[in-house]
Structures are given as structure tokens and as C-alpha cells.
Amino acid sequence: MTRPAMESDLLREPQRTRQNTALLLIDFQRDFCDAGGYADELFGSQWAREVVPPARLLLDAARSSGLCIVHTREGYSSDLSDCSLQRRIRSHRGGAGIGALGPLGRFLIRGERGHGFVPDLMPRASEIVIDKASYGAFVRTPLEACLRQRGIEHLYFSGVTADVCVHTTLREATDRGFFCHYVRDAISTFDSQLRAACERMVGVEGGVWGRLIDTAQAIRDFECLSGATSP
């Protein structure tokens, strides 16, 4: 007689393929990564610039593998009508009010120089750009519909900041049933202890927020993908 199927035999993640895997690049904007931007006003921006090179390696590898690529961008209308009072108060209290004038224009306002992507991670015309007036990229955006239409099941994460926009989007994705891969050396925040805590939270409880990997492993994953299934 054949051995009855064990629960562990039945509960398996879908194999990664070129068709069902996407790379998410979260908020690689001048306001977070460049001198004179929103983040720089609060606590400097060197920490963000340090993860741009590994993010570029991921982007190049994803493009070479023909993956779905998504760039997100946080920003608000010039009259701040889509920026909640709570968020405006919080940002002013933190020391860089959303909409205040800085060297790159008004902080986090759509159309200002600081709202734009850093040059090394500019989207191509074929790639998805999600503009969001929120921390998470799924709230009041077409992101989920875009991913579902393409049959995406696996999401690789890179971006800033680890503790706010990246983790919020990671948790939203997990709640929607996506399999998440957190690329730890391509994700950062201004405080090293917060960054480490964000990484630790991913893998607990059997990977409650996904799989913790580094850029080298992610690139190996991409290189192993076929048009049908991954090994």
C-alpha cells in the first residue's frame, strides 16, 4: 500500500517561474535616497544610497530573466488633499513636513524633483509604476490587479524604508496570499537596529512574512527560472 499523503507533502509553495515571479522596487526616490531630500532632512540618506547598487543588480538580473518589474513611488498632490491630517502632523513633528520646501522641491509632492526615481533605478516603459499616497503599495492602487492579471505569485522585495513602506507592503502582500522574498541587503532604513529587527521579523513562525535572502541568492533564483518551472 502507498503511504498516505502527509500534510507536508501537500503544502508546497508554487514553483517559481518567469511568468509568476516579480521584483518590487519600493520607493527608490530622490526624496529618500539623495542629499537634500525628505529623508536626508530627518536623518541623512547615506543608508539609502548604500542599497541602490544591490537593487540595481537585482533589477538587471530581473530584466535579463524577463520578469515582471514594479516600481513604487510615494507622493501626494500639491494641495495635500490626499495626505491625511495625521500624516501631516506626524511629518511636521518629525522634522520634515510633507509639502515643505527643500532643496529638491516640496517634500514628497508629485511632480517635484525629489519625487522622481534615482537615476540608477529608472523604470523602463514596459515596467509597472505604482504611485501611492500611502505607505503600503496595495492601498487604493491598481497593484494587486496588475499582479493578478499577470499570474504573479512570488514577489521579491527591495527598497526603502524597511520599517515603513517596505514592511507595510510586505504585510499587505502576505495578507493577499503572495509568496514574499525579502532581499535583506537591498532593503534598508536609517537605524541599524530597526533594519535588523525588520529582517528578524520575516523568518519567525515558519516565515510569517516570507523568506529572508540576500541579493546573491535572489540573482541565483532568477537565473534558475525557466519559462515553465524553476528547478
Which residues are designated catalytic? 27, 132, 165
Query: SS3 of 102, please?
Result: strand
DSSP category for residue 113? G
Residue 23: closest CA among 74, 58, 64: 58
Q: 33: buried, middle or exposed (CB in 10 Å: 19+, 13-18, 0-12)?
A: buried
Q: 202: buried, middle or exposed (CB in 10 Å: 19+, 13-18, 0-12)?
A: buried
Provide the CA 209 distance to its chain's centre, in angstroms: 13
C-alpha–C-alpha distance, residues 194 and 30, integer Å: 22
34 and 40 Cβ atoms separated by less than 8 Å: yes
